Each structure stands twice: as C-alpha cells, then as structure tokens.
C-alpha cells in the first residue's frame, strides 16, 4: 500500500502541516494551542489541521499583515 503524499491529504497533523508549508514546528504548536481556530479538528486527543481551511487562514492573515 502506497503512502499518500502530504499534498493529497485533506487532514494533516501539526508536524505534517509544518513540513508542507515550510513553517517551524514550534510556531505551529504555538498556533494550534489557541482555541477557536477555523482550521482545527479534534480526533480524540489528536489535533488535526484541515488543509483547505488552513490555506484560507494563511491568505487572510497574510493580507492583514501586508496592510500594516
């Protein structure tokens, strides 16, 4: 059985998200420690990232940062 690439997955772990988007693991864990984030999904005690929602979040956040 072949392992799915990160680009093909809809749900990612925090570490997979950091790898895919070139972010540091530390910053991803800090970001995901906040509550009420639109891209977070819980599966038991695991935190999963909804990839499409995370991309939208990054785009909105980067637009706000560019305006400052």
Q: What is the pLDDT of residues 3-55, one digit of tens each?
A: 888 889 999 999 999 999 988 899 899 889 988 899 999 999 999 999 999 99
8's tokens: 């093909």
- Judge if pTM exceeds 0.85: no
- Please count the CA atoms within 13 angstroms of the CA of 33 that sit on its side-chain side: 6
Distance CA 46, CA 5 (A): 20
């Amino acid at each position: 059985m072949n392992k799915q690439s990160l680009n093909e997955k809809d749900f990612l772990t925090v570490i997979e998200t950091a790898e895919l988007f070139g972010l540091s693991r530390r910053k991803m864990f800090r970001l995901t420690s906040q509550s009420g984030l639109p891209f977070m999904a819980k599966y038991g005690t695991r935190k999963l990232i909804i990839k499409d929602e995370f991309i939208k979040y990054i785009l909105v956040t980067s637009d706000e940062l560019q305006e400052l």
